[in-house]
């Protein structure tokens, strides 16, 4: 059931490490008969989503992908799609959310969705640069983002914001390793007193984080009873936003978040 879908699923086997695949190979990968694999490829090729190298006879993603991506950007300019998903989650959890993206080499707030359900809520300055050592987003980015962030940890001056702020690179690295296992990060008042943060990565095409999605909870509401709700919301957001920005979640990433 779903011929079209089966055809499309063949596209999943192309990756940055394997941008060109031969007929027999992709048939084996997809568990399809060569004949059907070929017919699917031909259909995709006619549409332009697949292209055959006339020399090697092997197949690669075609130019139609570019056209569709351009259309996508017109229909949903990235952040708009993210905002909608964040707003939906905000209604579920009843807390403020913020989306941070890695711009060049700093982590910046791209979008803030504030809850309307509580008068006591966490507000965040959208122009602030996010310190990697003091926020859940920052720690998350150290775990799942590009390696240079971790590497320059020692050479950076790590500001102490509160008593809970970590400034020792060794301790931070330990924490980062834990987060890499769990899939999510938290910060309990290490940036601002009374603010608990929960963050999860948003992955790019190469399965390296391009940003994070975070839920900020005032300490009074940060009870262990509310954690499961927050963590499941965080997990679905991580996956949805990764998809929204055209990224790919690594297979090793946890399928759910545990406290």
Partner DNA sequence: CGTTAGTGGTTCATTAAATGAACCGCGTTA
Partner DNA sequence: TAACGCGGTTCATTTAATGAACCACTAACG
Residue 33 touches which member of DNA, a copy of itself, none, C-beta under 5-8 Å by kind:
DNA
Residue 110 near residue 210 (C-beta atoms within 8 A): no
The count of other CB atoms within 10 Å of the CB of residue 228 is: 13
d(CA 117, CA 131): 28
Residue 60 beta carbon to DNA: minimum distance, rounded to whole angstroms = 12
Cα dihedral across residues 143, 144, 149, 152: positive or negative? positive
d(CA 211, CA 193): 24
For DNA, the closer CB: 6 or 248: 6
Give yes or no for residue 144 binding a copy of itself (CB under 8 A): no
Residue 52 beta carbon to DNA: minimum distance, rounded to whole angstroms = 6
Give the count of residues interacting with a copy of itself (CB under 8 A): 47
Residues of the shown chain interacting with DNA in the complex, contacts defined by CB under 7 A: 1-4, 6, 22-25, 32-36, 38-40, 52, 57-58
Give yes or no for residue 246 binding a copy of itself (CB under 8 A): yes
Tokens of 41: 């490829």
Residue 145 near residue 106 (C-beta atoms within 8 A): no
Query: Taking the CA of residue 120 as centre, how many other CA atoms within 13 Å lie in the half-sphere pointing to its CB?
Result: 8
Among 22, 35, 68, 258, binds a copy of itself (CB under 8 A): 68
For DNA, the closer CB: 23 or 61: 23
Residue 7 beta carbon to a copy of itself: minimum distance, rounded to whole angstroms = 4
Tokens of 38: 């070929």
The CA dihedral of 149, 102, 13, 47, to the nearest 10 degrees, is -160
**3-state class (DSSP) for residue 35:** helix
Draw the binding track, 35-64, toward a copy of itself (x: CB under 8 A; -: no contact): -----x--xx-xxxx-x--------xxxxx
Tokens of 209: 């984080």
Draw the binding track, 177-216, toward a copy of itself (x: CB under 8 A; -: no contact): ----------------------------x-----------
Residue 112 touches which member of DNA, a copy of itself, none, C-beta under 5-8 Å by kind:
none
Residue 48 near residue 62 (C-beta atoms within 8 A): yes
Binding site for a copy of itself (CB under 8 A): 2-9, 11, 14-16, 19-20, 40, 43-44, 46-49, 51, 60-76, 81, 205, 243-248
């Amino acid at each position: 059931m779903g011929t079209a879908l089966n055809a499309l699923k063949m596209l999943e086997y192309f990756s940055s490490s394997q941008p060109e695949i031969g007929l027999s190979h992709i048939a084996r990968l997809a568990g399809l008969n060569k004949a059907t694999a070929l017919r699917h490829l031909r259909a995709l090729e006619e549409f332009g989503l697949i292209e055959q190298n006339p020399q090697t006879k092997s197949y690669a993603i075609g130019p139609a992908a570019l056209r569709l991506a351009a259309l996508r950007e017109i229909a949903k300019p990235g952040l708009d799609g993210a905002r909608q998903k964040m707003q939906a989650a905000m209604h579920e959890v009843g807390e403020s959310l913020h989306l941070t993206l890695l711009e060049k080499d700093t982590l910046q707030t791209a979008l803030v969705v504030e809850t309307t359900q509580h008068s006591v809520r966490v507000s965040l300055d959208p122009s602030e640069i996010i310190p990697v050592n003091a926020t859940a987003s920052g720690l998350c980015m150290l775990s799942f983002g590009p390696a240079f962030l971790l590497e320059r940890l020692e050479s950076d001056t790590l500001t102490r914001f509160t008593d809970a702020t970590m400034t020792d690179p060794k301790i931070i690295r330990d924490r980062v390793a834990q987060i890499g296992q769990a899939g999510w990060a938290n910060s309990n008042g290490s940036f601002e007193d009374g603010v608990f943060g929960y963050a999860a990565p948003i992955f790019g095409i190469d399965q390296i984080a391009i940003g994070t999605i975070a839920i900020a909870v005032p300490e009074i509401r940060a009870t262990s009873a509310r954690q499961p709700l927050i963590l499941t919301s965080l997990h679905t957001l991580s996956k949805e936003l990764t998809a929204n920005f055209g990224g790919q979640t690594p297979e090793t990433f946890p399928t759910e978040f545990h406290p």
